[in-house]
Amino acid sequence: MRLAYPVTLKRYASGQVGVRFVDVPEAITAAASRPEALALAEDALLVALSGYVDAGRPLPRASKPTRGQPVVALPARVAFKFAIHLAMRQAGMTQAMLTARLGVDARQVRRILDIDHESTLDQLEAALAALGRRASLVVTKIAA
């Protein structure tokens, strides 16, 4: 599962640079410059994907970017949490079921799933393992 989404950039007559996500049409933003627009794009993506999770919709698959096309990735902690949501959805697992499988308090599972909560890497890895998943890390150069 890749949570790095390609974007298209467009310079408007006003001079602003607009960002649209190929796979997440709800995520749109603009700024005075390309670097600013790409920085804001991460937040737009986060808000849009949170809407998918809140509505119980599956997260859109990230398409493969074309050569030179900018890609916006989510912060690692948030990507872990979305991966846990997706794995739970695929397994038909409820929060109560994950709580029982992890042997923790229900509040801890709610925090693990809350994208605004600063869960530890150990907690996120344990939740993924309980779902039969393991995360791997990909490090990429930041596009300017």
Q: Are residues 66 and 116 in the same domain?
A: no
pLDDT in tens, 91-139: 999 999 999 999 999 999 999 999 899 999 999 999 999 999 998 877 7
**Residue 88 and residue 100 in one domain:** yes
Total number of domains constituting the chain: 2
CATH code for the domain of 121: 1.10.260.40
Same-domain pairing of 48 and 15: yes
Mean pLDDT of the region 12-32 = 95
Rounded Cα distance between 33 and 27, Å, is 18
Domain span including residue 81? 76-130
Q: Is residue 35 part of a domain?
A: yes
Cα–Cα distances (Å) from 68 to 5, 6, 7, in that order, read: 13, 10, 11
Q: Are 65 and 87 members of one domain?
A: no
Indicate whether 67 and 15 sit together in one domain: yes
Q: Report the percentage of the chain scoring pLDDT > 90.
A: 78
C-beta of residue 56 within 8 angstroms of C-beta of residue 85: no
In a domain, 100, yes or no: yes
Q: Where are the beta strands (DSSP E) in 60-118?
A: 71-73
pLDDT exceeds 70 at position 12: yes
